[in-house]
């Protein structure tokens, strides 16, 4: 130890000062002896060794040692009084006091549902694509085998922007855009907002999320369609959730189906689906004799309401901090 | 479509339960949305047995009956003289509600208490007879619900019919589908009182005549087939009870026997009919032609309407007497004075009817059906049954064979079905016999044709036009649930992921990590800016335009949160904004991310005595920087007019951040926002930088910045002149005070050499170099303490 230079000794002592602030009563007593003890206190030793130093060095080291001694004494005194006062009032830290938190943000529950659905289909080889929200009538209706002359067009009340341009009423136009651009095998999910001329009420909104799915390949049949939807329902809801397929009508699928899941005592409709209508394939330049496929569409807003027991769709658009805060992970 | 369970049962000759029918129809694609018992208002009425009848002690015309209601025997005062001991009558107890909503009270009649009431047909709204109490012909004991005893017990089913299936808009159609799965054929019931034979229609190409009425069709495209019969000598009066009850069972108000008869055919066979009062037809003749522009007609609902040349008008010698396929005219309406009627049975072009009813803004039972397509082949049968029914309920006789103007008869559609295609689409091989069985059970006729099946489509199924339609019929009848759910091998998608969604997911992670909740607004709002795209048919002025930014919606959300007394608000949204393009072109769409923050920067904590600091502009600036970095944006940040602007590589504005002017309550804090366009959609790949193994040397510099010199300018000089050894330069303090004559900004510079320990001399040289450059280029001096 005597081999240490005065500077090293100072640094070692300075490091010990930090410890004083957190020491308990017993450790404080030890530290007092260790640093300032009459016989072997480290600072005492430094002061004692001053006489052996050359005169100008003695002055510099002496000043520093005395500064340090004052600092140590004040730190010891302040900590000792702290420990003593705590002891006096028998105060132990109350660990039931709340911890220090930071703001945590939540993903919107509809986004969470969209992501979860897309991830489940990713396991079946689906990729995730998007498309424009303002569409031509051609893509929104005509290519999907919907004639504006037919009452089927009334199934969706449409917002028009200008002649021939509409806000898409479903994400299905992305089916057509994808089929025109890519060759089968096509397996896509398309989440996005869709628009209907519906006033807000507890179960309707003029804008809401939809997820479209499309598969086109050789040898894709109604059996494959059922298997994929079944896989999805079991993963999204539960392994024991019963699924029911009912006939229905959509201009762009045939056979068409509504898919219900068992919910309590009844059945709840969760998606419209079916085998892609050959006219839609042909409209998009795909040989409908060689290729078949299936498509489905579902409403994440509705599924979100179902999953979380949300009674009014407007809560999903209000952006109330108290509501969104419930979905912090 | 409202369907009566009894009516369906009668057509199929079986007793059906509502639950069974609802389940079967759902699995056929015709879900039942609601089932309700007919005459629900009679559920409280029970069979009462009169045990004694005595004269009322205080009134000559009243009787006192002891009525057994199944539980006890009660005194009931009754005014009808026909009540007999031992007779069974409808009994309404005190407290029960009669049809019409009147609640029955116990009251004294001439000094004697009456406990309830024995009811007449009229009081139960079952008929018009109010002369006496309704005597029940039944073996049921006292206390049995009346609905179990009377034949009026029925259920009303609200069946959802998809727009492709007009055939399901009548009882026969629903019964046909149901019968196909139950194995029961549909048989029309006999009409009591109908003549055994009716005249066979005479077909003609453009015109014909019946009973002295000349019928001609000029508008063949609008009305490809027009049939008319004339019945003379009828008497218009209320319909017989069975007909009234039948219409009432599906919620239709009985009107008179002629109208009721045509309505019965409408709801039974899906053929809309119209009855004209022959005496009111000028000519008498009927001309089916295009209407003239602005040609007036007063329709049955009393509205005066103007027609146009895109519509089909049914006219007499003077002018329009009906809007073809939509609504009759008032001038030729059947009334109580009517003795002779012309019965119209026509087919109107669906597209024409759709356009007409949209222009006139009316929808009727007739237009709804014509628009979806009625049965062109089934018209003669429908007219024959209609004539029989009118004669049965209103008397009279047919004045000669009906006319049938049908210039170019259409043949039944034939489709060639390939069994191997059935297998390809459905994934299950169906035996040929099974295929043929399903189709014939629905009324299709089948014949073999070169390994295929030639299928003739019946007239009531205009939706079936191709092979895929037949395949759907097979799947539907076999039952979707009978197909296995087996995952086959699958090939991965050839379509790449849209890179945008990963970028957006990254944004969500960053911003939720910073404590912001994700908001989702709607893309519609009031006009915001000149480039806003208008909606042609908006629901309201508040939703008449597409949004041009996300911030406006987020500010509305801030105001909402203030209104529920939330002070700490942190929201972000990722969404599309729109800028109008030329008419007939899609607007420009941009994906944006925006955020707003206001209120406490941290949740209050007791250790700080609940005091917390509010967000300020520096918070939102760092959000902008983080978002820009995550977007991979090589943006340049400048400040302009009190906010920060993110400029793109070619000078375009990519985003901004800064304070927002929002009028809030007195307790609200300042609001800050940012909005950035998501353009660069490529993920940024982090390149690893070697971790230093040598110690750093730190120098703190307090620099006095003259007016007009910015930290960014200083930082640029420091970095440029610091040399290779300068690792980082960060601002850690700012001080403003008169004693230093302005503003001092403190920088911490860290120097390091990658492979050796730096010597003080080298660092001092670098600092001197920096200070020299600062002094020379910016007039910045080191602050002396």
Give chain A's end-to-end CA distance (angstroms, integer).
56
What is the sign of the dihedral through the CA atoms of B550, B556, B560 and B561?
A: positive
Q: Say how far apart CA A8 and CA A14 lie, in whole Å.
A: 10
Say if residue B510 is in the same domain as residue B465. Answer: no
Say which of B476, B494, B518 has its CB closest to residue A111: B518
Whether residues A186 and B495 touch (CB distance < 8 A) is answered with: yes
Q: Is residue B594 part of a domain?
A: yes
Closest CA to A235 of B475, B482, B487: B487
Q: Closest-CA residue in chain A for B24?
A: A246
Cis peptide before A255 (omega within 30 of 0): yes
Most confident of A7-21, A148-162, B179-193: B179-193
B261 and B391 housed in the same domain: yes
Which H or E element spans position B47? Answer: strand B46-55
CB contact under 8 A, A125 and B493: yes
Averaged over A232-253, what is the pLDDT?
Answer: 95
CB–CB contact B490 A110 (8 Å): no
| Domain count of the fold of chain B | 6
Mutate to test the interface with A, among B495, B496, B521, B678 (most CBs of A within 10 A): B495
SS3 B756: coil
The answer to whether the CB atoms of B554 and A278 lie below 8 A apart is no
Smallest Cβ–Cβ distance between A206 and the set B515, B524, B561 belongs to B524
Radius of gyration of chain A (CA): 37
Nearest to A220 by CA among A140, A286, A132, A304: A286
B585–A324: do the CB atoms touch at under 8 Å? no
Mean pLDDT of B412-441: 95
Name the DSSP letter for residue B606.
G
Contacts of A319 in chain B (CB under 8 A): 517, 519-521, 554, 557, 560-561, 571
Quote ipTM for the complex.
0.84
Answer whether A126 touches B (CB < 8 Å): yes
B399 and B427 both lie in a single domain: no
Same domain, B277 and B389: yes
Q: Which residue out of B496, B517, B562, B583 would a mutagenesis test of the A interface target, given it has the greatest number of A Cβ atoms within 10 Å?
A: B517
pLDDT bucket at A6, cuts 50 / 70 / 90: low
Residue of A nearest to B569 (CA): A321
CATH assignment of the domain containing B295: 3.50.40.10
**Do B100 and B171 sit in the same domain of this protein?**
no
For the domain that residue B164 is a member of, what is the CATH number? 3.30.56.10
Are residue B401 and residue B419 in the same domain, yes or no? no
Using the predicted structure, report yes or no on whether residue A2 has a pLDDT greater than 60.
no
Choose the closest CB to A152 out of B164, B486, B518.
Answer: B164
Chain A, nearest residue to B475 by Cα = A255
Peptide bond into A141 cis (omega under 30): no
Chain centroid to CA B212: 49
Q: What is the pLDDT of residue B443?
A: 94
State whether B520 and A152 contact (CB < 8 Å).
Answer: no
State whether B334 and B476 are in the same domain.
no
Distance from CA of B639 to the nearest CA of A (A): 28
d(CA B657, CA B362): 53
CB contact under 8 A, B500 and A130: yes
Does residue B195 sit within a domain? Answer: no
In angstroms, what is the C-alpha Rg of chain B?
Answer: 42
- Token representation of residue B472: 């759907």
Please state, in angstroms and rounded to a whole number, the distance separating the CA atoms of residues B561 and B564: 5
Nearest residue of chain A to residue B160 (CA atoms): A248
The string of pLDDT tens digits covering residues A164-206 is 999 999 999 999 999 999 999 999 999 999 999 988 999 899 9
Are B116 and B227 members of one domain?
no
Residues B82 and B44 both lie in one domain: yes
- Domain with B117 in it: what CATH number? 2.40.50.140
Residue A316 forms contact with B (CB below 8 Å): yes
Q: Are A130 and B163 within 8 A, CB to CB?
A: no
* Total count of residues recorded for chain A: 329
- Asked if A290 is an interface residue toward chain B (Cβ–Cβ < 8 A), one would say no
Task: Residue window 146-165, chain B: list those with CB within 8 Å of chain A.
Answer: 162-165
**Average pLDDT of span B750-777:** 92
Q: Look at residue B446 in the predicted model and tell me its pLDDT.
A: 95
**Domain end point (choices B620, B648, B677):** B677
- Structure letter (DSSP) for residue B330: S
Regarding whether B646 and B517 lie in a shared domain, the answer is yes
User: If contacts are CB pairs under 8 Å, which of residues 527-556 in chain B contact chain A?
Assistant: 533-540, 543, 546, 554
The token duo for B563 is 């209104």
- CATH number of domain containing B547: 3.30.930.10
Domain region containing B729: 697-782
Given a cut of 70, is residue B130 above it in pLDDT?
no
Q: Which residue of A has its CA nearest to B533?
A: A161
pLDDT tens digit sequence for B554-568: 999 999 999 999 999
CB of B472 less than 8 A from some CB of A: yes
What's the average model confidence in pLDDT over A71-97? 79
Choose among B80, B65, B164: nearest CA to B116.
Answer: B65
In a domain, B776, yes or no: yes
Note whether residue B188 is domain-resident. no
Check CB contact under 8 Å for A185 and B494: yes
CATH value at residue B711: 3.30.70.380
> Does B57 reside within a domain?
yes
- Band the pLDDT of B638: cuts 50, 70, 90: confident
* Chain A touched by B588 (CB under 8 Å): no
Give the model's pLDDT for residue A169: 94
Yes or no, beta carbons of A257 and B501 under 8 Å apart: no
Sign of the torsion formed by the C-alpha atoms of B332, B334, B336 and B339: positive
The three state secondary structure string of chain A is: CCCCCHHHHHHHHHHHHHHHCCCCHHHHHHHHHHHHCCCCCHHHHHHHHHHHCCHHHHHHHHHHHHHHHHHHHHHHHHHHHHHHHHHHCCCCCCCCCCCCCCCCCCCCHHHHHHHHHHHHHHCCCCEECCCCCEEEHHHHCHHHCCCCCCHHHHHCCCCEEECCEEECCCCCHHHHHHHHHCCCCEEEEEEEEEECCCCCCCCCCCEEEEEEEEEEECCCCHHHHHHHHHHHHHHHCCCCCCEEEEEEEECCEEEEEEEEEEECCEEEEEEEEEEECHHHHHHCCCCCCCCEEEEEEECHHHHHHHHHCCCCCCHHHHCCHHHHHHHCC
Residues of A in contact with B546 (CB under 8 A): 134, 161, 167
Confidence (pLDDT) at B547: 96
B34 touches chain A (CB under 8 A): no
For A289-325, the pLDDT digits (tens) are 999 999 999 999 999 999 999 999 999 999 999 999 9
Does B33 reach chain A within 8 Å, measured CB to CB?
no
Percent of chain B scored above 90 by pLDDT?
66
Q: Are residues B657 and B701 in the same domain?
A: no
Q: Is A151 on the interface with B (CB under 8 A)?
A: yes
- Residue A194 burial by Cβ neighbours in a 10 Å radius (0-12, 13-18, 19+): buried
* Tokens found for residue B725: 């050894």
Per-residue pLDDT tens digits for B15-56: 888 899 999 999 999 999 998 888 767 777 888 888 888 888
Token pair 């930290």 is found at B711
- Mutation for testing the B interface, residue in A103, A129, A280, A286 having most B CBs under 10 Å: A103
- Which member of A98, A132, A185 has the closest CB to residue B491? A185
Does residue B492 fall inside a structural domain? Answer: no
Question: pLDDT at position B680, please?
Answer: 60
**Residue B285 φ/ψ region, left for φ over 0, alpha for ψ in the -120 to 50 degree band, beta for the rest:** beta
B607/A100 Cβ within 8 A: yes
Predicted local distance difference test score (pLDDT) of residue A39? 81
Q: pLDDT, tens digit, for every residue of B612-621? A: 899 999 999 9
Write the pLDDT tens digit of every residue in B475-528: 999 999 999 998 889 999 999 999 888 889 999 999 999 999 999 999 999 998
Would you say B224 and B375 are in contact if contact means Cβ atoms under 8 Å apart?
Answer: no
Q: What is the mean pLDDT of residues B426-436?
A: 95
Residue numbers in A near B516 (CB within 8 A): 103, 105
Query: Residue B490 domain-assigned?
Result: no
Q: A interface mutation test: which of B520, B542, B568, B578 has the most A CBs within 10 A?
A: B520
* Shortest distance, CA A158 to any CA of chain B (angstroms): 9
With contacts defined as CB-CB under 8 Å, which chain A residues touch B470?
none
Report how far residue B710's alpha carbon sits from residue B777's, in angstroms, rounded to the nearest whole number. Answer: 13
> What is the residue-averaged pLDDT of chain A?
90
What is the distance in angstroms between the Cα of B428 and the nearest Cα belonging to chain A?
A: 8
Last residue of a domain, one of B363, B383, B405: B405
Which residues 374-433 in chain B show a CB within 8 A of chain A? 424-428
Q: What average pLDDT does chain B have?
A: 90
State which residue of chain B sits closest to A158, comparing Cα positions.
Answer: B537
- Residues 6 or more apart whose CB falls under 8 angstroms from that of A297 comprise A170, A171, A172, A210, A211, A212, A213, A271, A272, A273
Identify which has the larger pLDDT, A87 or B68: B68
Closest C-alpha to B20, from B5, B40, B10, B33? B5
A230 touches chain B (CB under 8 A): yes
Angle between helices A109-122 and A222-236 (to 10 degrees): 130
Tell whether A241 lies on the interface with B, counting CB pairs under 8 A. no
- For A245-283, b/e burial (b = at least 16 CB within 10 A) is bbbbbbbbbbbbbbbbbeeeeebebbbbbbbbbbbbbeb
Instruction: Name the pLDDT band for B192 (thresholds 50, 70, 90).
Output: confident
DSSP B696: P
- B549 and B645 part of one domain: yes
């Amino acid at each position: 130890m005597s081999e240490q230079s005065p500077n090293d000794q100072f640094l070692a002592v300075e490091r010990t000062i930090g410890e004083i602030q957190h020491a308990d009563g017993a450790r404080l007593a030890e530290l007092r002896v260790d640093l300032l003890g009459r016989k072997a206190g480290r600072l005492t030793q430094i002061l004692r060794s001053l006489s052996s130093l050359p005169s100008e060095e003695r002055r510099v080291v002496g000043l520093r040692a005395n500064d340090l001694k004052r600092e140590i004494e004040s730190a010891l005194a302040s900590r000792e009084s702290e420990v003593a006062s705590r002891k006096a009032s028998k105060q132990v830290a109350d660990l039931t006091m709340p911890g220090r938190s930071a703001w945590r943000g939540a993903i919107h529950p509809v986004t969470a549902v969209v992501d979860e659905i897309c991830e489940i289909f990713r396991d079946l080889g689906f990729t995730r694509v998007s498309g424009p929200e303002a569409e031509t009538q051609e893509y929104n209706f005509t290519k999907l085998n919907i004639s504006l002359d037919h009452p089927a067009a009334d199934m969706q009340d449409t917002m028009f922007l200008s002649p021939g341009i509409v806000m898409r009423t479903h994400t299905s136009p992305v089916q057509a855009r994808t089929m025109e651009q890519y060759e089968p095998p096509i397996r896509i999910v398309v989440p996005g907002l869709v628009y209907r001329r519906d006033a807000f009420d507890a179960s309707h909104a003029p804008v809401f999320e939809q997820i479209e799915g499309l598969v086109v390949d050789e040898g894709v049949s109604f059996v494959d369609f059922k298997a994929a939807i079944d896989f999805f329902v079991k993963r999204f809801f539960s392994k024991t959730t019963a699924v029911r397929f009912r006939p229905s009508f959509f201009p762009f699928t045939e056979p068409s189906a509504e898919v219900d899941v068992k919910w309590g005592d009844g059945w709840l409709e969760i998606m419209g689906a079916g085998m892609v209508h050959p006219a839609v394939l042909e409209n998009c330049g795909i040989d409908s004799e060689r290729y078949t496929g299936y498509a489905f569409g579902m409403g994440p807003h509705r599924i979100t309401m179902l999953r979380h027991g949300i009674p009014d769709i407007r809560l999903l658009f209000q952006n109330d901090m108290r509501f969104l805060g419930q979905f912090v992970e | 479509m409202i369907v009566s369970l009894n009516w369906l049962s009668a057509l199929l000759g079986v007793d059906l339960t509502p639950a069974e029918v609802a389940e079967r129809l759902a699995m056929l694609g015709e879900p039942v949305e609601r089932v309700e018992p007919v005459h629900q208002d009679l559920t409280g009425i029970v069979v009462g047995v009169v045990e004694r009848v005595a004269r009322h002690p205080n009134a000559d015309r009243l009787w006192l009956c002891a009525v057994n209601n199944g539980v006890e025997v009660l005194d009931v005062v009754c005014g009808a003289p026909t009540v007999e001991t031992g007779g069974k009558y409808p009994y309404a107890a005190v407290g029960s509600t009669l049809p019409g909503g009147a609640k029955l009270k116990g009251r004294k009649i001439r000094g004697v208490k009456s406990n309830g009431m024995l009811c007449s047909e009229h009081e139960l709204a079952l008929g018009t007879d109010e002369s006496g109490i309704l005597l029940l012909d039944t073996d049921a004991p006292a206390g049995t619900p009346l609905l179990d005893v009377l034949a009026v017990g029925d259920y009303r089913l609200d069946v959802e019919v998809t727009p492709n299936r007009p055939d399901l808009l009548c009882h026969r159609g629903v019964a046909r589908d149901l019968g196909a799965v139950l194995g029961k054929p549909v048989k029309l019931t006999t009409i009591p009182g109908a003549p055994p034979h009716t005249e066979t229609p005479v077909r003609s190409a453009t015109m014909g005549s019946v009973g002295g009425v000349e019928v001609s069709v000029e508008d063949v495209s609008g009305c490809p087939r027009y049939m008319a019969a004339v019945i003379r000598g009828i008497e218009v009066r209320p319909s017989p009870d069975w007909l009234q009850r039948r219409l009432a069972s599906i919620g239709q108000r009985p009107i008179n026997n002629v109208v009721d008869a045509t309505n019965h055919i409408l709801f039974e066979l899906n053929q809309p009919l119209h009855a004209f009062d022959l005496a009111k037809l000028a000519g008498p003749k009927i001309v089916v032609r295009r209407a003239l522009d602005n040609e007036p007609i007063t329709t049955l609902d009393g509205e005066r309407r103007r027609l146009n040349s895109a519509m089909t008008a049914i006219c007499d010698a003077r002018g329009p007497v009906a809007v073809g396929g939509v609504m009759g005219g008032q001038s030729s309406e059947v009334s109580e004075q009517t003795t002779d009627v012309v019965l119209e049975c026509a087919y109107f072009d669906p597209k024409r009817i759709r356009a007409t009813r949209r222009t006139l803004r009316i929808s009727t039972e007739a237009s709804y059906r014509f628009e979806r397509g009625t049965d062109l082949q089934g018209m003669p049968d429908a007219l024959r049954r209609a004539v029989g029914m009118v004669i049965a309920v209103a008397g009279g006789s047919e004045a000669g064979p009906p006319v049938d103007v049908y210039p170019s008869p259409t043949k039944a559609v034939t489709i060639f079905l390939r069994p191997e295609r059935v297998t390809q689409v459905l994934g299950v091989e169906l035996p040929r016999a099974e295929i043929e069985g399903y189709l014939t059970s629905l009324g299709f006729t089948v014949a073999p044709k070169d390994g295929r099946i030639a299928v003739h489509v019946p007239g009531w199924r205009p939706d079936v036009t191709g092979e895929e339609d037949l395949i759907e019929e097979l799947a539907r009848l076999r039952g979707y649930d009978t197909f296995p759910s087996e995952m086959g091998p699958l090939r991965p998608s050839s379509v790449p992921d849209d890179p945008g969604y990963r970028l957006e997911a990254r944004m969500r992670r960053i911003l939720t990590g910073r404590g912001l909740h994700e908001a989702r607004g709607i893309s519609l709002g009031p006009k915001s800016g000149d480039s806003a795209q208008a909606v042609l048919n908006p629901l309201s002025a508040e939703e008449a335009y597409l949004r041009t930014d996300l911030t406006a919606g987020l500010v509305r959300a801030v105001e909402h949160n203030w209104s529920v007394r939330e002070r700490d608000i942190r929201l972000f949204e990722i969404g599309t904004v729109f800028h109008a393009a030329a008419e007939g072109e899609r607007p420009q769409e941009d994906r944006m991310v925006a955020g707003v923050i206001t209120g406490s920067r941290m949740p209050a904590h007791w250790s700080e005595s609940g005091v917390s600091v509010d967000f300020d502009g520096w918070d939102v600036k760092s959000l902008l920087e983080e978002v820009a970095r995550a977007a991979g944006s090589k943006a340049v940040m400048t400040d302009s007019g009190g906010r920060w602007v993110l400029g793109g590589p070619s000078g375009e504005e990519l985003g901004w951040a800064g304070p927002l002017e929002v009028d809030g309550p007195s307790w609200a804090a300042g609001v800050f926002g940012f909005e950035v366009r998501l353009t660069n959609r490529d993920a940024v790949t982090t390149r690893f930088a070697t971790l230093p193994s040598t110690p750093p040397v730190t120098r703190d510099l307090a620099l006095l910045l003259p007016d007009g010199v910015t930290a960014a300018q200083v930082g640029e000089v420091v970095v440029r002149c610091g040399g290779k050894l300068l690792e980082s330069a960060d601002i850690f303090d700012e001080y403003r005070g008169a004693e230093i004559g302005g503003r001092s900004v403190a920088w911490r510079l860290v120097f390091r050499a990658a492979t050796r320990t730096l010597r003080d001399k080298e660092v001092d040289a670098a600092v001197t170099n920096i200070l020299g450059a600062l002094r020379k280029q910016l007039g910045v001096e080191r602050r002396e303490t």
